[in-house]
Each structure stands twice: as structure tokens, then as C-alpha cells.
Chain A
Amino acid sequence: AQTVTQSQPEMSVQEAETVTLSCTYDTSESDYYLFWYKQPPSRQMILVIRQEAYKQQNATENRFSVNFQKAAKSFSLKISDSQLGDAAMYFCAYRPRRGGADGLTFGKGTHLIIQP
């Protein structure tokens, strides 16, 4: 069974600084997707960034980028120039590419605090 582990229950960063959130996963699959979702106090799940395992290039979306290390099964999220609106729970998620495994597997989340 696949598992996703987020070892940092809470992280704090000064506004405008850079922060990295960690995520590791366990799978026997070779082709899969990895995601970072943001859940602000409104509880809406918002997709931040997505990585396809067969792509070696790390995904980037504006201030958000990932460090994908497939051999180490590591998928960290870097947030540059942190803003107050980045404060939220962040969840790492995994899904195999093959059919028949449609549900996302989530980690327990990291609570990100932005200090002004």
C-alpha cells in the first residue's frame, strides 16, 4: 500500500523569506503523480503544484517549486518570498498513473505559519 509522510506538523517562516516543506512517500509503482494541496482556514482544497514522476524536471508555479528526488522518494515544496496569504495547511498527495487506482493518498499535513 502507498503511504505519504509529512514529518513536519508545523512550520513557521518570516514574511518574504523562503520555506521548504518535506514529503516522503512509499510505493512500488514506477509511474505516478505527486501533488501539493493548500487548505486555508476556509477548508477549500486548492491545488498548488503537480509533478509527473516520469518527468525529471522539477515543477514550478510562480513562487512555488518542488524538489523531486525519485530514487529517495522525496517530494519537497519550496515557497519563496512567503506572503501572509500562504498561511494554511499544506498536504502532499500521491496517485499512481495506472488505471484502477483513482483515489489520492494524502499525508497528514503541515501547518504553515507566516510571521509578519
Chain B
Amino acid sequence: AQSVSQHNHHVILSEAASLELGCNYSYGGTVNLFWYVQYPGQHLQLLLKYFSGDPLVKGIKGFEAEFIKSKFSFNLRKPSVQWSDTAEYFCAVTLLEDSWGKLQFGAGTQVVVTP
């Protein structure tokens, strides 16, 4: 079955530590990839997206993600986190041939950054 898997459900780290969140998908065909973030009490926001071209994409707030096609992965990274990065992070996928662009999400990773 087609799915989006996020490796960690819960991550706790200290400020200034580096963050990497794993995301794997099991779709055949060409995919569009997204990371969304949900800060406490707020709506889901787009962090970054990949359609084609350079597999290393940069998003808002210092986040970046790398698409590795051979590994069906799209991991999210930030070199040095801040307390304000405490949030839930969601990986999501659409299929290029899906003209309606239905977005399928992973289960999310809750990230807690301690001062």
C-alpha cells in the first residue's frame, strides 16, 4: 500500500543541537514532496517543497530537506534548532500524475526543544 512513514514520533533536543527528521514514502512514479509544520495551537504551515531539480531544497526558518530518489526519502534538517522550533512536523506526498493533487501525510513527529 502507498504510504508515508516518519521514523520518529517524538524527538527531544536542546537548543543549538542539530535536527534531522526522517521521511520515507512508498509510492511508485514521480512524486512531489512537502514538509509542513504545526506550532502549538496554530494551523499547519508549509515549510518547504520539492518538485524537481536540485534535490536539496531550502525552506523557511533555516530548514532544508534532501530528496534521495534511490532511498525514497525526503529528510528534513536544521543545523541549529531554537526553542521556537518546538512543533509537530509532517511529511507529505502527492503524485505527479494525480491531477487533483491529493496530499497524503505521514503520522507526524513531535519535536520539543529545551532551553
The judgment on whether A and B are partners is: no
